[in-house]
């Protein structure tokens, strides 16, 4: 068994659902596409996305000792459903449970320890989402799946309900990656379902139109009527493009208990959100991905949903309920 094969086996034992190993080479084509995307202003207020595109596409600039990249994926799907009741706010599935950054990093640290057991001189760096590295591009190169038209990674075994992470290592490892063909075909379900037309063309998302961006990254103190009318009850994030993806019919419940929903995190009580004090907010969302939007952002979104429901009723929720017209 090669070192790469041993590492892949260990990654699965630790709890990752998929893993691959590739050389830590620069991703020239992906850098070109990133720079074009940035040039269109599709990153909006996410200024960090525009910093050091060269580093984002070359792991050796991020971590000079890097010679190989171990790419892992972890399934986070749990079989729960949102409520469409007025006065509740829908939360994106990825944020229902404990913060995935903590869960992924803990598993990657364990994998790093295993790599060092192979060679005690090995240097490693774990990356989960916040590091300047192109997670989805590396997952494609490692053969974990393909990039869907909604720009999320899709796997044949689990659909797109997965988190991606990388372990950059100083060892020259044998590549273990089987390219996965693009299986989207002529399907345009995600483009057709997006309420704001954020998927401006296949494989290209204008973040400034995306509800996930609007409810999480957009920092305006209030949402305009134009933005509010598209929320359809989404308090934090949006899963519409994934909910309608035919490949997510192959979804399977995760084996990671930390991704089970916390109380009130699938469909949050908007009145309760508005009444939270800073202390209550910190306690409720400790070690939760929902901290990203801060209390002010969460309450802003809750106000926008309530105001729109009071003015227009809840018909929009029914019109765009998850999974509708998915056949």
Rounded-to-integer distance, Cα 267 and Cα 285, Å: 14
Rounded-to-integer distance, Cα 10 and Cα 53, Å: 32
Locus of tokens 């208990």: 257
Angle at 173 between CA 168 and CA 179, to 5 degrees: 85
DSSP E strand stretches across the chain: 18-23, 68-75, 88-91, 124-127, 146-147, 153-154, 162-169, 199-201, 204-205, 234-236, 267-269
Pairing of strands 153-154, 18-23: unpaired
190 neighbors 224 (Cβ within 8 angstroms): no
Tokens of 294: 């801060």
Q: Name every residue whose Cβ is closer than 8 Å to that of residue 212 and which is 6 or more positions away in sequence.
A: 92, 237, 238
Catalytic-residue membership of 129: yes
Rounded-to-integer distance, Cα 229 and Cα 195, Å: 10
Radius of gyration of the chain (CA): 20
HSE, side-chain direction, 13 A CA sphere, residue 207: 17
Rounded-to-integer distance, Cα 169 and Cα 113, Å: 11
Of 25, 102, 129, 269, the active-site residue reads 129
String of DSSP letters for 210-239: -HHIIIII---SS--HHHHTT-TTEEE---
Catalytic residues: 129
């Amino acid at each position: 068994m090669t070192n790469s094969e041993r590492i892949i086996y260990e990654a699965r034992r630790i709890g990752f659902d998929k893993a691959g190993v590739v050389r830590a080479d620069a991703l020239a084509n992906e850098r070109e596409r990133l720079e074009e995307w940035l040039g269109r202003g599709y990153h909006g207020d996410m200024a960090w996305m525009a910093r050091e595109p060269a580093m984002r596409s070359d792991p050796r600039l991020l971590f000079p000792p890097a010679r190989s990249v171990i790419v892992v994926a972890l399934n986070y799907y749990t079989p729960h459903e949102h409520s469409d009741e007025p006065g509740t706010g829908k939360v994106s599935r990825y944020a229902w449970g404990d913060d995935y950054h903590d869960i992924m990093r803990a598993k990657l640290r364990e994998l790093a320890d295993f790599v060092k057991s192979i060679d005690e001189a090995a240097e490693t760096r774990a990356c989960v989402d916040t590091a300047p590295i192109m997670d989805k591009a590396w997952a494609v190169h490692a053969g974990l799946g393909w990039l869907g038209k909604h720009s999320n990674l899709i796997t044949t075994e689990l659909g797109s309900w997965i988190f991606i992470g990388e372990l950059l290592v100083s060892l020259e490892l044998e590549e273990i990656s089987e390219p996965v063909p693009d299986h989207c075909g002529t399907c345009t379900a995600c483009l057709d379902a997006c309420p704001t037309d954020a998927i401006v063309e296949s494989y290209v998302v204008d973040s400034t139109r995306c509800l996930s961006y609007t409810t999480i990254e957009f920092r305006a103190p209030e949402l305009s009527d134009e933005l509010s009318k598209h929320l359809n009850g989404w308090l934090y994030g949006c899963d519409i493009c994934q909910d309608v993806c035919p490949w997510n019919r192959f979804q399977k419940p995760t084996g990671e208990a930390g991704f089970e929903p916390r109380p009130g995190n699938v469909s949050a009580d908007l009145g309760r959100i508005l009444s939270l004090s800073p202390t209550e907010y910190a306690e409720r969302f400790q070690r939760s991905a929902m901290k990203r939007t801060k209390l002010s952002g969460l309450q802003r979104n809750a106000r926008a949903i309530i105001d729109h429901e009071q003015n227009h009723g809840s018909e929009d929720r029914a019109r765009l309920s998850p999974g509708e017209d998915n056949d």
